[in-house]
Structure 1
Amino acid sequence: MAGQTPTLVLVHEPERACFERLLAEGFDRRAATEITSYLAQSTDLAPEFDAIGEACARRGIRFRAVELDEAAGVLAACDRSGTLVWTLTDGIAYFRGGAAPALARLNGLATVGADDSVFALCQDKFRSGAVLGALGLPVPTAGLARGGHWLVEPPASPAGYFVKPNRLGAKVGIWEDSRIAKAGEALALGRRVQDAYRDDVVVQPYVAGRNVRASFLAVDPAAGPEVLGIAFVDSGGDFQTMADSMALYGETGAAARGEGRYAEPELVPVASAQPRAAETIRRIAATLMAGLGLRDVFSLDLRVEADDTVHLIEFEVSPGLPCFDFRAYCRSQWGMSLAESMAETAARRVG
């Protein structure tokens, strides 16, 4: 309707709703708690909804946070000409947020982020790895196991292997023993993941190097890979486990803060130490934007070796906005808080 105030709709799936659904599906409480930790960004961002609303109001935009279970009705009633939908939490299996961009498309609404087909792709590590490989990107070739059986055996790897659930995020199902020496050892881990989470495991050749997170937010719609924030994430270990991740976010992260156990990994700009690797990562991002349709907001997880060899591990189209690394990126790249960055991104698209 002409004259309506432009609106930013943020669709998110709360931890509690997912937890109760998983219990109803027969998961035990421990596994349900671990799985739903992926949705901690909803918990962590909720206290800032007022700040986001105020930042939007200063730019002439209305802000509305909508829980996923209400999204179908809300989006069906939105004004097509002045609504922008931002999906905070994704998912196609344990989580259902990938439905939000599809609902937006169904109702003819503009969105922040990649289209809904990419939301589905990124949640399946084995399938997305195959697509990334087809694009010529440096992603480790993976095997796939279901319980104690191979669906696809991994290639030979003298350096050993790394095993992780296929459709879970936030390091869920990654333990201290997830790095193994021989491919056959993956089957025992596969049985453990299947018993706990009902998921397959991806088995990738182990790649050396430091962990890197590349963050992207196109506050300016014309921005490209040059605004990518690329940082080493040094947590003190070779890789981050589920326990490490859960201590940073959501209710467990809040408890860790209260008990004085909270410690953020150190962020170090890659360009300051390995500028050639940083440029390689920008080229990888450019390929993903052109070939896969990543846009507006996304993140990449990579490993960088001392000789500047870069390995792309996976990508996210709904990165953890309230996470420490993305907040740091907004401050360093855009000179704004997370709330201001989100509001400005929306204003430049619907204002």
Structure 2
Amino acid sequence: MSSRTPRLILVHEPERACVDRLVADGHAPERAAEIAFYLAQSTDLAQEFDMLAGACRARGLSFAPVLLDDAAKALAGEDPGTTLVWTLTDGIAYFRGGAAPALARLGGFKTIGADDSLFALCQDKFRSGAVLGALGLPVPRAGLARDGKWLVKPPASAAGWFVKPNRLGAKIGIWPDSRSDDLGHALELSRRVFAAYRDDVVVQPYVAGRNVRASFLGLTPQVGVEALGVAYVDSGADFQTMADSLALYGETGEAAKSAGHYTEPELVAVADIQPAADARVRAIAGRLMSGLGLRDVFSIDLRVEADDTIHLIEFEVCPGLPCFDFRAYCRQQWGLELADAMAETAASRLSGPDRRV
């Protein structure tokens, strides 16, 4: 039954459901678990659903977490005039979260985040890189390989190349040898990735610099790039591997914490050290918002060199909300813990004259 009480519905795809589906499709259980790990924010945020419900109640909203597989049925019983849909996890290939904003649009619901076309684009790194390049943004050119064969040859690079999966939703290189000085080795990596994950690989010229994460949450619809949080993410390594990621989030992250092996990378504001680079990152974010359509909540990963040269690596329409860096951003930018920041964002879209679809 529809309710007149403003309502936030958070649609999410859990790790376990993804693992079971991938195993049923023939993936090895260990590989399926690694793939599903990128849904770890569903695992982590589920522990805070009660807090999020309380934060919503304090602002006159009701809250309902909805499993992706139940989303169509759940939305069918809601009032589009008073219901806001927030999709926690993206995906069109291994993950299926991109179906949620499409369902919301089909039902005429208001949404938090980019439109559903970007949920598809962001997971395909080769295609998204082509679009970002067409917008004039500083993204490294890329080649594409599948199981040891070039689909598109990469550009020459005196610094070597970086090899990463195309659709696994990550910038990581999977293994420590993902930076390569030899294109033959890059093709070998493509064979390994295809055998393990059935994915293509993007092969980009290696770019130097420090890893930077730019986070954005529009607490109100009027907020722009001035609310972007731009920070170095220093883990002590040049790039993140699968093993590094597994130690930070989800069930494996909890195990690492229990074993005393969990160490969060250090976050340092880019503006404090390289103000010119900070300004350039904000300009890039502005271009992504105006030219690509990012809005409400997103993150951008970049490499920043000492001379303020910026390399745009990727964007995410479903940033890891419960991850350490986004929590730190909410506290620093908005003075709020994650649950209150999410509830406040939802309330601003569901009340007052500034509501938008």
Residue 70 of structure 1 corresponds to 70
Between the aligned partners of 1:11 and 1:172, the Cα distance in structure 2 is: 26
The percent of aligned pairs where both chains have the same amino acid is 72
Residue 3 of structure 1 and its aligned partner are, at CA, apart by 6.8
Matches within 5 A, 1:41-60: 41-60=41-60
Q: Structure 1 segments of 4 or more deviating over 6 A? A: none
Three-state SS of the structure 1 residue aligned to 2:256 is helix
For the 8 Å contact 2:2–2:77, the answer to whether it is kept is: no
For the 8 Å contact 1:34–1:172, the answer to whether it is kept is: no
Which AA in structure 2 matches 1:219? L
Three-state SS of the structure 1 residue aligned to 2:318 is coil
Deviation by residue 1:95-145 (Cα, 9 ceiling, x = unmatched): 000000000001000100000001100010000000000000000000000
Which AA in structure 1 matches 2:97? G
1:22 matches 2:22: yes
For structure 1, the residue ranges without an aligned partner over 5 or more in a row are none
Residue 283 of structure 1 corresponds to 283
For the 8 Å contact 1:171–1:242, the answer to whether it is kept is: no
Residue 216 of structure 2 corresponds to 216
Residue 183 of structure 2 corresponds to 183
Aligned length: 351
Residue 104 of structure 1 corresponds to 104
For the 8 Å contact 2:233–2:268, the answer to whether it is kept is: yes
Three-state SS of the structure 2 residue aligned to 1:177 is helix
For the 8 Å contact 1:157–1:206, the answer to whether it is kept is: yes
Three-state SS of the structure 1 residue aligned to 2:174 is coil
For the 8 Å contact 2:173–2:240, the answer to whether it is kept is: no
1:237 matches 2:237: yes
Between the aligned partners of 2:130 and 2:300, the Cα distance in structure 1 is: 16
Between the aligned partners of 1:148 and 1:2, the Cα distance in structure 2 is: 53
Deviation by residue 1:299-338 (Cα, 9 ceiling, x = unmatched): 0000000000000000000000000000000000000000
Residue 33 of structure 1 and its aligned partner are, at CA, apart by 1.0
For the 8 Å contact 1:37–1:170, the answer to whether it is kept is: no
Three-state SS of the structure 1 residue aligned to 2:175 is coil
1:138 matches 2:131: no
- 1:122/1:134 CA distance change after superposition, 3 Å: same
For the 8 Å contact 1:171–1:245, the answer to whether it is kept is: no
Which AA in structure 1 matches 2:259? E
Residue 185 of structure 1 and its aligned partner are, at CA, apart by 1.7
Which AA in structure 2 matches 1:5? T
Which AA in structure 1 matches 2:96? R
Residue 2 of structure 1 and its aligned partner are, at CA, apart by 8.9
TM-score by length of 1: 0.98
TM-score by length of 2: 0.97
Which AA in structure 2 matches 1:285? A
Three-state SS of the structure 2 residue aligned to 1:342 is helix
Residue 47 of structure 1 and its aligned partner are, at CA, apart by 0.7
Residue 114 of structure 2 corresponds to 114
